[in-house]
Structure 1
Amino acid sequence: MRKILYLFLLIFLSNLGYTQEIDKLPADKLATEMANTIMVKWPDSLTHQPGATAKWSYDLGVFFEGIANIYAVSHQKHYLAYMQHMMDLFVQPDGSLSRYSLTDYNIDYVKNGRTLLFLYKATKEDKYLKAASLLREQLKTHPRTQEGGFWHKKVYPNQMWLDGIYMGQPFYAEWSASFDEVKNFDDIANQFLIIEKHVRDPKTGLLYHGWDESRQQKWANKFTGNSPNFWGRAMGWYGMALVDVLDYFPKNHAKRRQLEDILVRYAAAIEKVQNPQNSLWYQVLDQADRKGNYPEASASCMFVYTLAKGVRKGYLKRKFEESAVKGFSGIKQHFLEFDKNGMLHLKGTVQVSGLGGTPYRSGTFEYYMSEPVIEDDPKGMGAFILAADQMKYF
């Protein structure tokens, strides 16, 4: 533990007085600076409360993927040490997971499986593979809609949310590719196909935040089951899931082309709602001019990541590169800021947005405007690192 804290101190001291203009810094440098901020702010867990219990949270998995990408290039051991230290708060020596419950059937809990697989491949320690296998087991019995779509959570019955596609499917795909479970790719593709069929708006191509198969939720349209609005980060999650799953999807699989076609439709839809004045995307995507609406950092980062990776991998035409480049420029100008100590911060991320629950979240425009917008939200910072990592190629 002392060694890790010493490494964080070195990171912090190396940044003192570092106030170069953000626009002049290369994308990979900005990614590294944001990762360093994360490690200094949260050396032990995502809580600042002394003695508070660390929470098994998908936020960890989002920024760990960004940090893993940095480590893959730099091979600087303190990044790997940080990831191990944080995950070992949960992963026990026998591979069990503390503060995780399979029978909660929360798809959010599956997200960190990719970090566990990364740590297993990097360290060869069996406990990480055993822990990841618990998340794989959850997917075997996770409740589903009649068409086979994973419920978002057991406490949200009959519902699929765009968020949940990102939380579950990239891990499911990586596991299946890594352990020769090729039969799973039909199921993985169907998760994308089922929800897109139900939540895609034929006029705009945008995707509604959630869908209730039972049409019983107060927020659900009584005819379609859809929630009322297009939430930026929800579509951001879905896009990142698409390009990440395609990394593992068999080239000759019959449904691969369908996923690529979804990505093309998706890219065209989000390009249309990119604000021409600041090149960013808004909390409610199709209502940028409505009073109270605002450019939102995490969604903007996720869209840049999706477009840039889609172009780089050849899934999208080169024309979408311009949208990604403009978006990343807007992110740098609008959301990034160095403090007096040289630490890089990300402004403008909505802390949370959901549907139903207690207190009740209605999915209306007014609801989405009511949630707090904060600086240095971990999932926003993670999305920024991922976006910057892709933008280093452009």
Structure 2
Amino acid sequence: MSNLTADIQASILKAKNYVDALTINSSCNIPKEVVSDEHKFFSWDNEKRTPSVKPYLFDWSYYNGVVMEGLYDTYEALPDEGAEYKNYVLEYLNAMLVTDENGVHHLNRSLAGYVDHHGADCYKTAALVMKAFDENPAYAEVMAELYRDLTDPKHVNSKGDVIVEKYTEEALGENYWHCWAGGQPPKYKVWLDGIYMLQPFLAHYAAKIGDTKQLTIINERLNWVADVMLAPNGMYYHACNSREDVCAYHWTRAMGWYAMAMVDVMEVLPECYLEERKAALKLFADGMLKYQDESGLWANLADQPVTETNRLEVSGTAMMIYMLLKGVRKGWLNESYREPAIKAFNAIVNTKLHDNVLEDIYLKASANNTNNYEIPEYYLPDEGKGSGPFIMAYSEMLYL
């Protein structure tokens, strides 16, 4: 890091101390112990339920997955120094597996039994398995099963549904409904969140097996979002059913999920699609940078004034950092986009990270067009949906 300024070096070191304390040096967040005990939860899992017996939803979940994915990104950024991060992730993934009577490996359905019928969120952690694909032969069997769930028009899942037929629509650009529990559509079917939950996994697996048809469909899905969900102010709506029927809030984290989806998918798309994807990425980045606060952060509702209930928020800001830095590193955005990303990273570390606690991460906001985006009690410390993207942003800082 000798070529970096002192303030950037200090921010990276402070972030590393936080990441290590939360994960590899933690006395409570030990993957094998948490997964094996129905009474234990990762400390960043603020959506854990009561009673104390742990339901199947929580060990395999996107908010655990993004923390682990950030750690694996950190390992990939510095492989010679990051073995502890990789081993931590593999301990988590291996604890999720079971072997059936035929010797075939599956996700443990008592821990992940909802993945094929609950909704888009439940597949996000599959992208983590894709990253570690070559570390364990069992992962290939798990990936094939999850991919078949989402792409095979003849595959009937454990709930008797054919997902690719029942929960995608031509009118939605072949995008999946965000939720499908009970077979009933949500108020808004397509969420920006759901683009990130599904498309990076599908794209990376399709690229690995040479499924060019699926890669074309994925590009078309992203084009539909860029066409239908872009608002006149240059930002994106949280969710929609059509261009006219939208959840109008510009929630920074929702746009952040979409930002990360774009750059993660672009890694593996055929060259013939990259020019339109780069144009969409630049348009998105320019739209978001108009609303970056002078502090370097983004507000929870990005286009609204900063208040005690609409705070400068960590998770969405971290996602913007990841998108901007990765976009520059891959050559999809020019060098001028790096400076606002570094400013944002320093701002998180200097204003939101205190004594190894990452503050002001918003818990959740429903895409139902009612405003639950400004509930003070929803601003939490060390929440996985913010800690994970912050680790991803940190991993991109390491490439500097």
Q: Same fold (TM over 0.5)?
A: yes
Distance (Å, rounded) in 2 between the aligned partners of 1:284 and 1:354: 13
Letter in 2 for 1:351: L
Distance (Å, rounded) in 2 between the aligned partners of 1:258 and 1:100: 38
Change (3 A) 1:31 1:179: farther
* Per-residue deviation, 1:76: 4.8
Correspondent of 2:365 among 317, 332, 353: 353
Matches within 5 A, 1:1-394: 25=10, 27=12, 30-31=15-16, 33-39=18-24, 40=26, 41-43=28-30, 44-45=34-35, 46-47=41-42, 52-53=54-55, 55=58, 56-72=60-76, 73-74=79-80, 76-93=82-99, 94-97=104-107, 98=109, 99-123=112-136, 125=137, 127-140=138-151, 141-142=163-164, 143-145=167-169, 146=171, 147-155=173-181, 156-157=185-186, 159-202=189-232, 204-213=233-242, 224-251=244-271, 253=272, 255-276=273-294, 278-289=295-306, 292-338=309-355, 344-356=356-368, 362-364=369-371, 367-370=372-375, 372-394=378-400
Distance (Å, rounded) in 1 between the aligned partners of 2:256 and 2:189: 19
The answer to whether the 8 Å contact 1:22/1:332 transfers is no
* Per-residue deviation, 1:90: 2.6
Letter in 2 for 1:150: Y
**Structure 1 runs, 4 residues or longer, greater than 3 Å off:** 21-24, 45-51, 74-78, 155-158
Distance (Å, rounded) in 1 between the aligned partners of 2:86 and 2:338: 31
* Per-residue deviation, 1:83: 1.9
Gaps of 5+ in 1: 1-20, 214-222, 339-343, 357-361
Change (3 A) 1:119 1:24: closer
User: Per the alignment, in what secondary structure is the counterpart of residue 240 of structure 2?
Assistant: strand
Distance (Å, rounded) in 1 between the aligned partners of 2:329 and 2:42: 36
* Per-residue deviation, 1:52: 2.7
- After superposition, give the CA deviation of every residue in 1:21-65 in whole Å (9 maximum; x if it has no partner): 996535267246414413424222445686534522111221112
Letter in 2 for 1:231: W
Letter in 2 for 1:368: Y
* Per-residue deviation, 1:380: 0.9
User: Per the alignment, in what secondary structure is the counterpart of residue 92 of structure 1?
Assistant: strand
- After superposition, give the CA deviation of every residue in 1:112-157 in whole Å (9 maximum; x if it has no partner): 112222333123x2x2111122221221233112231211121444
Distance (Å, rounded) in 2 between the aligned partners of 1:65 and 1:26: 21
Distance (Å, rounded) in 2 between the aligned partners of 1:91 and 1:200: 40
Find the counterpart in structure 1 of residue 155 from structure 2: none
The answer to whether the 8 Å contact 1:31/1:389 transfers is no
Letter in 2 for 1:321: R
* Per-residue deviation, 1:196: 2.1
* Per-residue deviation, 1:179: 1.1
Distance (Å, rounded) in 2 between the aligned partners of 1:51 and 1:76: 34
Letter in 2 for 1:71: Y
The answer to whether the 8 Å contact 1:111/1:171 transfers is yes
Distance (Å, rounded) in 1 between the aligned partners of 2:235 and 2:94: 39
The answer to whether the 8 Å contact 1:229/1:363 transfers is no
- Of stretches 82-91 and 234-243 in structure 1, the one that deviates more from structure 2 is 82-91
Letter in 2 for 1:280: L
> What's the RMSD between the two structures over aligned residues?
2.4
User: Per the alignment, in what secondary structure is the counterpart of residue 42 of structure 1?
Assistant: coil
TM-score of the two chains, using structure 1 as the length reference: 0.81
Change (3 A) 1:32 1:167: farther
Gaps of 5+ in 2: 1-5, 36-40, 152-162
Change (3 A) 1:239 1:331: same
Distance (Å, rounded) in 1 between the aligned partners of 2:189 and 2:55: 29
User: Per the alignment, in what secondary structure is the counterpart of residue 96 of structure 1?
Assistant: strand
Find the counterpart in structure 1 of residue 160 from structure 2: none
* Per-residue deviation, 1:274: 0.2
- Of stretches 317-326 and 53-62 in structure 1, the one that deviates more from structure 2 is 53-62
Distance (Å, rounded) in 2 between the aligned partners of 1:294 and 1:36: 26
How many pairs were matched up? 347
- After superposition, give the CA deviation of every residue in 1:195-221 in whole Å (9 maximum; x if it has no partner): 22221112x1100100024xxxxxxxx
